């Protein structure tokens, strides 16, 4: 590797006191920077022939810049007390359909609901009957009733039972919705019944409620001319226990949620704002913020050329916005790592389809800013890991960031690209570009000597057709790695489904003039895409590919979901322990 100089610091005055050698490798280690979600630092580096560095501002297409929003921090507290004694804006009670059962006098049988109803003179049971509230999932009712310390009482349906993290995260989201509607600054959350919940389940459930509340309150209004700040400041979680263990779990929920919010905001940002260089800057800010455990290496096109990343550079060739290959490295405090992990995120900040341009109904070209959803997940996980600082595990976060555009310099159908492992690829569809960038990212990550790799990508429409908008498809030849990741999803509540790596389908990927083509037929499109990626993974490395094209985006909420971040963090922590 050619020699390179290190940027010593990026001062608050945005001046740089450093020079680079002739190499174009940028290594950011101890950068001081602004808050990540607002993208407030609009800087890039360019080089003169003398090798000195000068700082220049980005020209923003459309004059659009995100507003820096300082979201109020929500404080969480675990308490044990009678719910009728709690004082505040909203007392929210999660109820199952069984909890809503009433006797022959139309009175609640559940002890907590009976106690609340008695304090309210029977108005709670009366109102629930009139509104036909039965505790079904998705149902909620918030009533302003006199007689309690709380201004409002809310009943939130949990269905027949509630036991999974997803159930309790949904409870938290409903609490957030009620708090927004009532402009509440403090709320309490309790369950009508905690039967069937072990002490460990209570800890996990409290954490999920906290996570759901934070994510439910958050609204990405950075690109609106007027934005409303949420007023919720505190949440008391009642009846789930007290002490250091639950406090640790609540802090964990806040840390992971901050990563999910970063991931959402990265994916929500339009391509005229979040270009490859800006994505690289956001990665460098993570390294700056957590400089005790993180370092960042950013490779430009010249350095990628030295590393023979022809597959990645072929995709990037058409864009006026140059590619940036991002490598964040987390090293644990307090000793060497026992395991080395690689997390790779597809980083197409915009995908036009290239010469095979996306056209016609359903092509979703207007949403192709989310084609960097994999990188959003990886960088969101990096932020959370920087907060949590798990011991005993080294993690490499990799993004081959670029755009897939159209110009006279771009790759054409029929071109042959050579990846960094020497394998040749005949491009039979320029809109199958994500796998081309991931190919060189996989080779690079394997060369770091990692033990396990997970890559995440909005890779194929075929996976959305197969599994719908809420479930990601996963592919791996390793049963051991599959067990690890599925265990992580049990805690995160995110939905994945393992699909086969059917080797016989590779026949459709063979080329007459190169080692392979980049797409097979329409049938089994997500499987052949995964088989393509497998060609660039070392046999010594356990590897999983996650196709998250469906769950990356919510049409209902018109925004990014932050999918994958919670699972990645859980997986890293499981390897840490």
Residues annotated as catalytic (active site), given as ranges: 358, 435
Distance CA 463, CA 370 (A): 16
Q: What is the 3-state secondary structure (H, E, C) of 145-158?
A: CCCCCEEEEEEEEC
**Where in 356-471 does DSSP place strands (E)?**
393-404, 416-418, 424-426, 452-457
State phi, psi for 455 to the nearest 5 degrees: -110, 145
DSSP codes, 22-66: SS-EEEE-S-----TTTT---EEEEE-TT-BEEEEE---GGG---
Q: What is the 3-state secondary structure (H, E, C) of 193-253?
A: CCCCCCHHHHHHHHHHHHHHHHHHHCCCCCCCCCCCCCCCCEEEEECCCCCHHHHHHHHHH
CB 399 within 8 A of CB 297: no
Distance CA 348, CA 332 (A): 29
List the beta bridge partners of residue 295: 329
In angstroms, how far is CA 568 from the centroid of its own chain?
9
Which residue in this structure is represented by tokens 């490779």? 299
Q: How many separate helices (H) and strands (E) can be counted in the chain?
A: 14, 23
């Amino acid at each position: 590797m050619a020699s390179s100089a290190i940027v010593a610091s990026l001062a608050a005055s945005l001046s740089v006191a450093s020079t680079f050698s002739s190499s174009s490798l940028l290594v950011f280690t101890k950068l001081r920077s602004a808050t990540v979600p607002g993208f407030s630092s609009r800087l890039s580096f360019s080089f003169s022939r003398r090798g000195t560095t000068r700082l220049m501002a980005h020209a923003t297409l459309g004059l659009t810049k995100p507003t820096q929003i300082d979201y109020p921090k929500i404080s969480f507290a675990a308490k044990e007390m009678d719910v009728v004694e709690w004082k505040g804006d909203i007392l929210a009670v999660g109820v199952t359909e069984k909890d809503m059962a009433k006797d022959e006098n139309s009175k609640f049988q559940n002890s907590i609901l009976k106690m609340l109803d008695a304090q309210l003179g029977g108005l709670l049971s009366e109102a629930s009957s009139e509104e036909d509230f039965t505790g079904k999932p998705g149902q909620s009712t918030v009533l302003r009733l006199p007689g309690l310390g709380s201004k409002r009482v809310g009943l939130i349906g949990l269905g027949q039972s509630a036991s999974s993290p997803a159930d309790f995260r949904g409870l938290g989201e409903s609490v957030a919705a009620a708090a927004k509607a009532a402009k509440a600054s403090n709320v309490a959350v309790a369950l009508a019944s905690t039967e069937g919940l072990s002490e460990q389940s209570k800890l996990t459930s409290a954490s999920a409620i906290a996570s759901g509340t934070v994510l439910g309150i958050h609204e990405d209004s950075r690109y609106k001319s007027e934005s409303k700040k949420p007023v919720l400041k505190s949440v008391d979680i009642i009846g789930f226990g007290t002490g250091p263990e639950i406090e640790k779990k609540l802090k964990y929920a806040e840390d992971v949620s901050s990563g999910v919010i970063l991931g959402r905001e990265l994916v929500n940002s339009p391509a005229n704002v979040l270009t490859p260089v800006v994505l690289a800057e956001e990665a460098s800010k993570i390294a700056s913020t957590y400089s005790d455990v993180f370092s960042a290496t950013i490779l430009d096109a010249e350095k990628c050329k030295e590393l023979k990343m022809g597959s990645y550079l072929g995709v990037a060739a058409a864009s006026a916005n140059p590619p940036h290959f991002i490598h964040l490295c987390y090293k644990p405090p307090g000793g060497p790592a026992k395991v080395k992990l690689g997390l790779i995120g597809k980083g197409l900040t915009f995908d036009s389809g290239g010469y095979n341009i996306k056209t016609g109904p359903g092509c979703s070209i207007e949403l192709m800013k989310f084609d960097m959803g994999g990188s959003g997940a990886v960088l969101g996980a990096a932020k959370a890991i920087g907060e949590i600082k798990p011991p005993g595990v080294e993690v490499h976060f990799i993004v081959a960031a670029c755009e897939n555009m159209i110009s006279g310099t771009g790759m054409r159908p029929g071109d042959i690209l050579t990846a960094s492992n020497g394998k040749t690829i005949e491009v039979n569809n320029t809109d199958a570009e994500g796998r081309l960038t991931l190919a060189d990212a996989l080779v690079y990550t394997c060369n770091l000597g990692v033990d396990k790799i997970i890559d995440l990508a909005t890779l194929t429409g075929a996976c959305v057709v197969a599994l719908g908008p809420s479930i990601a498809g996963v592919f791996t030849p390793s049963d051991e790695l599959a067990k690890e990741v599925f265990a992580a999803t049990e805690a995160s509540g995110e939905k994945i489904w393992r699909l086969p790596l059917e080797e016989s389908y590779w026949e459709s990927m063979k080329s007459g003039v190169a080692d392979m083509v980049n797409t097979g037929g329409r049938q089994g499109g997500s499987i052949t895409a995964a088989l393509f990626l497998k060609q660039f993974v070392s046999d010594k490395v356990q590897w999983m590919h996650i196709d998250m094209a469906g769950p990356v985006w919510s049409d209902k909420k018109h925004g990014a979901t932050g999918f994958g971040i919670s699972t990645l963090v859980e997986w890293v922590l499981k390897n840490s322990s």
